[in-house]
Structure 1
Amino acid sequence: MAGPDVLSQAEIDELLSALSTGVVTAEEIKTEQKQRKIKTYDFKRPDKFSKDQIRTIYMLHENFARLINTYLSAHLRTLIHIDVASVDQLTYEEFIRSMPNPSVISIFQMRPLKGNAILEINPNIVLAIIDRLFGGPGLPPAKSRSLTDIEEAIIRRVINKAMESMQEAWKQVVAVEPRMEALETNPQFTQIVPPNDMVVLITLQAKIGQAEGLMNICIPYLVLEPIMSKLTTSFWVSASAARQASPESISVLQRKLEKTLIPAIVELGRATVTVHELLDLGVGDVLQLETKAENELSVIIGNREKFKCKPGIVGHKNAVQITQVISQGDDNDE
């Protein structure tokens, strides 16, 4: 429930002055308070998204911004800063008119949801990414221009990675598979819904090196309509808690970990030589190891010693027999 309006000190002084001079009376103020306040409503552009749903979409894309920020920072090896600037609802026509021409407009699907959505990236940002990928400093261009065929192929890869980040962010609410369908440069060629249909517009402020610009994600209401009940903070929190406590999710993670490949190395021994001795080594030379024949060998898993073993032969293959488990450094030991 909204609280009463808070007046500033200047408004209070003005009201007291009006009362003292007789411009208004206490009865007039009471009458005005009793009058029903009317809010203007435009039937041509009705509000389709509640404040709670807007807040949920904002939080979803905050996670998306963090993911794409991490990917681009590692991929471009430069200073990246991307965050959500705003989430608004407007008509599709208003969104189209706000886009520059040329621009980089990716039309994508969010299966199993029906319909298309748009990821629009300012050309300054796109050309800075391409310049950085081609070995340049990532400076913004002096003048905006369309992409060449080679540049378009490069930016498609970046957008596909952005789609993966979007899938990861949206799985907090619903499992979707964003897939790019087409890449356009002219906003007039991207009529995915009728002009008067309502859309939700997520605007991200991006700074890549010295280039700054906006990234816009436009999702029509018709696409999100089947999952509108899930776009609430209460559903998000309860779904997250259920996933964390689910034994099925724990068993899935365990199965995936059990299939993970890790290097196992048996170290026969070590020897220390000088650089001069190393340069003089030739075929047939013998290096004396520090390990004796009767000593146990070390089994290194990843980059840490985990077992002790004895060498031997099984059939016609070399093998080792584990003689000791080294638990130092394990979670239980710590």
Structure 2
Amino acid sequence: MAGSDVLSQSEIDELLSALSTGVVSAEEMKIEQTQRKVKVYDFKRPDKFSKDQIRTLYMLHENFARLLNTYLAAHLRSFVNINVASVDQLTYEEFIRSLPNPSVISIFQMRPLKGSVLLELNPNIVFSIIDRLFGGPGLPPAKPRPLTDIEEVIVKRVLAKTLESFTEAWKQVIALEPRMDAIETNPQFTQIVPPNDMVVIITLQAKIGQAEGLLNICIPYLVLEPIMSKLSTTYWVASSMAKQLTDENINALQRKLERTLIPIVVELGCIGVNVHELLGLNPGDVLQLETRVEDDLKIVVGSNEKFRCKPGISGKKLAVQITQIISKGEDGDE
């Protein structure tokens, strides 16, 4: 194997051919398996991300996929299914060579982190979204083409919402303020790092209506280097647990809510008039309310009637005295 843990189809065919011709026996293969295995290491593309960091990135972007799935399903009113297919590390040149031309590539910054990040969307997915937003069934064109000016404006709006989901998913690790710089269609014009620099590629499989395609997020190692210590499962879980409400936090929140000022309204009464009568009102006209002198008045909080009361005076100020508590509008009923 050429430095890989997974056999290619040609290598599998060679092994089967060797077994069938007798060049290699099954016993020899068993002996070879028991011997010490040596893994080839390529110094031109050293691994920058540990397995734990790759796992953390996978978990982060699983949350991103769920948020993006919810947004697109509600916005497009169509069937949407997005999930993380893989998280890999490779050189930037290898990633760029794998992209189709034309494609839709968004270049944005992960501020406060330095450097640029790529979000590449398969043209089938992009044109399916555009067709759906323009009132169509969501079918991609027969042949990929560059975006028109109007289509680019629509895509920028969708990408802005996508970055909001990206920010929400990453808030467990760092508070991001991403900013979109440009949209490119030719991968060769998106040289954000040197060709041999290592990047991590998060690949998401997307299905929107009848269109299927991939979404790739390319994050250079240099961008994530300042927060590499936070990209661990232990840190991520610990930060999640730290944000859970404790009894002390709940009590502090309750005390703040109890000190919150809310407006209340005492209704003296009401009357119904038609539009003709309303237009005929003049200064000095008298409207007779339905409330009688001996009736209790309503106390309204928000839009709900919460109490009944009697009007009066306290010192030199107008006041009301609570006579009844109305249960309608409680949290349990709502």
CA deviations on 1:154-183 (whole Å, 9 max, x unpaired) are 111111111111111101112222211111
Contact 1:243 1:249 in 2 (8 A): no
Structure 2 match to 1:142: 142
Provide the C-alpha distance between the structure 2 equivalents of 1:271 and 1:297, rounded to a whole number of angstroms: 14
SS at match of 2:243: helix
RMSD (Å) for aligned C-alpha atoms: 3.9
1:299 aligns with 2:300: yes
The Cα shift of 1:305 comes to 3.7
Distance 1:320 1:229 in 2: 61
The match for 2:16 is none
Q: Which amino acid aligns with 1:243?
A: K
Query: Could you tell me which residue of structure 1 aligns to residue 189 of structure 2?
Result: 189
Secondary structure of 2:222's aligned partner: helix
Look up the SS of the partner of 1:68 in the other structure: helix
Q: Which amino acid aligns with 1:177?
A: E
Q: Relative to structure 1, is the Cα distance of residues 233 and 96 closer, same or farther in structure 2, using a 3 angstrom cutoff?
A: same
Deviation at 1:102, TM superposition (A): 1.0
Deviations 1:113-170 (A, max 9, x none): 1111101111221122122222222222222111111111111111111111111110
**C-alpha deviation, 1:246, in angstroms:** 6.7
* SS state at 1:56 partner: helix
TM-score, normalised to structure 1, is 0.75
| Structure 1 residues 30-60: Cα deviation after superposition (integer angstroms, max 9, x where no partner) | 9757642211111111111111111110110
Moved more, 166-175 or 240-249: 240-249
Deviations 1:192-223 (A, max 9, x none): 01111111111111122222211111101111
Query: Would you say how many aligned residue pairs link Structure 1 and Structure 2?
Result: 301
Counterpart-to-counterpart distance in 2, 1:217 and 1:86: 11
Q: Secondary structure at the match of 2:113?
A: coil
Question: CA, structure 1 residues 282+228, in 2 after alignment: closer, same or farther (shift >3 Å)?
Answer: closer
Equivalent-residue separation in structure 1 for 2:208 and 2:257 (angstroms): 36
Helix, strand or coil: the match of 2:106?
A: strand
Aligned to 1:99: 99
- Equivalent in the alignment of 1:152: 152
2:125 match: 125
Normalising to structure 2: TM-score of the pair?
Answer: 0.75
1:1-34 CA-to-partner distances (Å, cap 9, x unmatched) read xxxxxxxxxxxxxxxxxxxxxx788xx8997576
Q: Secondary structure at the match of 1:244?
A: coil
Answer whether contact 2:266 2:297 (CA < 8 A) is retained: no
**Structure 2 counterpart of 1:229:** 229
Provide the C-alpha distance between the structure 1 equivalents of 2:135 and 2:333, rounded to a whole number of angstroms.
Answer: 47
Q: Structure 2 stretches of 5 or more lacking a match?
A: 1-24
Cα gap change, 1:281/1:98 in structure 2, threshold over 3 Å: closer, same or farther?
Answer: farther
Are the aligned partners of 2:305 and 2:329 in contact in 1 as well (CA < 8 Å)? no
State the 1:244 CA deviation.
1.4
Q: CA deviation at 1:238?
A: 0.7
Q: Does the 8 Å contact 1:61/1:84 carry over to 2?
A: yes
Question: How far apart, CA to CA, are the structure 2 residues paired with 1:288 and 1:43?
Answer: 92
Match of 1:47 in 2: 47
Letter in structure 2 aligned against 1:116: S
